[in-house]
Structure 1
Amino acid sequence: MVAVINTGRSIRAIFNYNENKVSVGAAQCIGEGNYPMDVQDMNASVKLNMFLKLLELNENVTRNSVHISLNFDPSEKELSKEKLMEIAGTYMDKIGFGDQPYLVYQHHDAGHPHIHIVSIKVKADGSRIDMQNIGKNQSETARKEIETQFNLVRAESKKKTTAIDLKPVNVLKINYGNSDSKKAIAGILNAVIPHYKFTTLGELNAVLNLYNVSVLQGKEDSKMFLHKGLLYQIINADKKPIGVPIKASSFHFRPTLKALEQKFEANKKNRIPDMKRVRNSIDMAFLKNSNINLDELEKKLLKEGIAVIYRQSSQRLIYGITYVDHTTKCVFNGSVLGVQYAAKAMLERCGNVRVKPDGNNYENKIQKEQGTKNPAFISELELQNIIDSVLQPEYASEYIPASLKGRRKKRKRKGQSDD
C-alpha cells in the first residue's frame, strides 16, 4: 500500500473534485467517518456543510483541507467496500485523524485499486491538527502496520521491481474539450508530480511527454510567461498538441509554477543519492559491450527502468539528453550526472550511431543528404540557433522583461534648472 497526503486551502474544491468523479461514474462515495448519519442518507450539501461548519471555528488555519489517497497493488482488485472502509478508518486513527469527519471515495479511473479520503485539519474544539512530518512519521508507521494487519502487498517489495507502472494516455479515446481530457491529464499529473524528482520544467516535460502530456509556459514576451502561468496539454505520438490546453490553476491540486518551483528546490537535494544508480547502469552497459550504439543502450537501460529522452533539432541532430529513472522516480539532464553522460559524450561513446526501426543508420543518411562530415556535432552558434527556434524557454528567476524595467531617473547637476 502507498499513501499520498496532500493539503489544500479549499475543502470545497477537493470535495467537488471527488463528487464530480462520482457524477461521471468514475468513483463512488463508499462511506464516512464521524458524521451524524450514514453516507447514503446524505446529499452533497450535508456532506460539505459538516466540513464548513468546523472550519468556521478557526479561520486562521489557511491550509485547512486534507486529501489522502491510499493506493493498493493491482493484484488486490477484490478488496470489498467493507474492507476498504476498515482500512481507511484504521489509517485515520493511526495518523491522528480518527475523531475528524471524513468521507471515503473509491475511484475506478486507474489501473490499480485506490481510495481517496477527504477531511479537515480543524478539530471540534477549534484547535488545529499539526501535520508536520506526518508523511514520514505517522503515515509511514500506519502503512506498515496496516499492510501486516490486512495482509496487503507491501510497498517495499514493489520498489525492488523495475516495472513501469504508468502507461501513456490513449489519445484516441479522449473526447477533446470535454471533462474527459482534463481527467486524463489530471490522472497523469497526479501520478507524476508528487512522486518524480525533477528540478526544471524541462525535466518535468521529459516525464510527462512519455505519457502524451506536455507543460507549456509560453514565450518570454507572452502574458502567460510574464504572469508565471502554465498550461497542460495532451500531445500525440509525434509530440504535436491535441485539443485545448488547460490552465494549471483549474486543477484542484493546482500544479502551478509557484508550486513546482518549491518542488524544484526540494528535489535538488532529494535526488542526489539516486544519481549513482543511473551512472552505474550506463557504465555497466558500456562495460558489457564497448561497441554499443544508442538504440541498444536505450533498450538496456529500459530493462533497468531508465528511459532515455533525446532533444533533437528539426534535422534530428541530438543536442541534449535526459534520463528518467522510473525505479527511483528521478529525472536527470545528462550534464547533471557528469560531462561523460551528456549528449556529446554519449554520442562519442556510442560511435555516433543510432539505428532507426527499419535498421538504417539515419545519421549516415542525413550526413549523405546534407554533405556534412559529422551531423551529430554542430557549432555553438548553430546549436544556439536550433535551441532558440525549437525550444520554449523555461522560467528564469533572474529574468526581468524590458517592459517591467523601471526607467532610471536622471540626476540633476547642482545649479541646473529645468528651463
Structure 2
Amino acid sequence: MVAVIHTSNRLRAVLQYNENKLEQGHAECISAINYPKDADALSFDQKLNRIQRQLALNKRTKVNTVHVSLNFDPSEKLSKEQLAEISKSYLKGIGFEKQPALVYEHRDAGHPHVHIVTTNIKADGSRISLHNLGKNQSEKTRKEIEVDFGLVKAQDRKAQEFTLKPVSIKAEYGRSETKKAIANVLEKVLNDYKFTTMGELNAVLNHYNVAADIGSEDSRIRKNNGILYRVLDKDGNRVGVPIKASDFHFKPTHRNLKVRFLFNEMNPNRTKDSLRIRNSIDFTLYGKQNVSLPRLIDILQKDGIDTVIRKNEEGLLYGITYCDHRTRSVFNGSALGKQYSAKGIAERCIEDPFSLHQQKSQRIGLDVGQSAGAGNVYHAGNGSSLENDKSLDSLLSPVKDGEYTPHQLKKPKRKKQKGFSMGF
C-alpha cells in the first residue's frame, strides 16, 4: 500500500473533486466516518457542512483540509467493506480516528485506490499538527495495515509499482559499444511502451540517453523518411556516431514505427491509461493555487510519471509530454485535453516556485501517531449518540456567522486605559 497526503485550505474544491468523479460514475462514496448518517444518505451539502462546522471552530488555522489517497497493488481485489475498514484503520493510525471523514473508492485507474477527505481541526477547536505527518505517522501505520490485512507490501514491490523508477538501462557513450547499447534501449522501449508519435517515442528514449533523429526540415534524412539513432550525454547533447535504423536487425525504421504508432493508438487500454495521468495531475492541482511547474513535475515523478517539457529561446513553455512508467504509456499533453497541454498547465501552475517548506503537499507512507484529541461530538462505531435528532441534524446544517468559538481560541480583548489625554 502507498499513501499520498495533500493538505490545503480549500475543503469545497477537494470535496467537489471527489463528487465530480462520483457523478461521472468513476467513484463511489463508501463510508462517512463520524457522520450521523450513512454515506449513501448524505447530500453534497450535508457532506460539506459536517466538516465545515468543525473548521469554523478554529479560524486561525489556514491549512485545515486533509486529502489522502491510499493506493493498492493491481493484483489485490478488495471489497468496499475492506477498503472502508482499511481507511478507518489508517485514520486511527495517524491520529485522525475522531475526525469526520469521507471515503471515496475511485475506479478510474489500473489499481484499487481510495480517497479520504477530512480535517485536522478537532471538536474542541484545537488542531492536529500536520508537520511531518507522513514521516512520523503514516509509514508505520502503512506497514501495520499491510500485515493486518494481508496486503502486498510496498517494499516488496519497490522496483516495480511503488518506487516507480524506470528500468535501469542507459546507453552511455564510451562505456559500451554504441550500437549494442542503443539496441538494448530500443528493444526494451519499443516492446514495453505505448506511444503514438515520434515526439512521444523520443520522450521515453531520451530518458535512457537515446534519441531518434528524423533530421531537419530540408535534410536528406527527412526527405528519405530515414531515422538515425544517437546516444545523448547527461546534458542531452548528441555524442558519438549515429546508427541508421536499417542497421538494427529488428528494423526500427520510420515505416515500421508508423505501423506501431497506429497499433498503439488503437490499444483498448489507452483511454484508461490516460485517465491515470489526468487524475494524478488533477489530484495535485485541484483547488490549489500554490503549485509551481517544478513542484508538479516532482510530485508526478514520485507517482511514476516523467514530464518532458519544451521551451523556446525566451523560456516560454510550448510543449509537454507525459511518460507513465507504471502503465508504460506516453501522451502528449494536448492529447489528454486542453487543461493538460503546455498552455493549460502553465495557466494552472504558479510562475515562481515556492520553497519546499512552503509546499502543502506531501508524499507519504510512515509511524503510528498519538491519538488525535478527545471530546468529539460524534464517533461512529463506539456506541456514542447525540442527545436528539435535532442535534444530529445540526451537524449537517450550514455554518452561520457568529457561531460558537472555543474560549481558548478567542483573542483577548484589549483593556482601555483609564486617565486623561491632553492635546495641544
TM-score under structure 1 normalisation?
0.48
Structure showing greater relative contact order (alpha-carbon pairs closer than 8 Å, 6 or more residues apart): 2
TM-score under structure 2 normalisation?
0.48
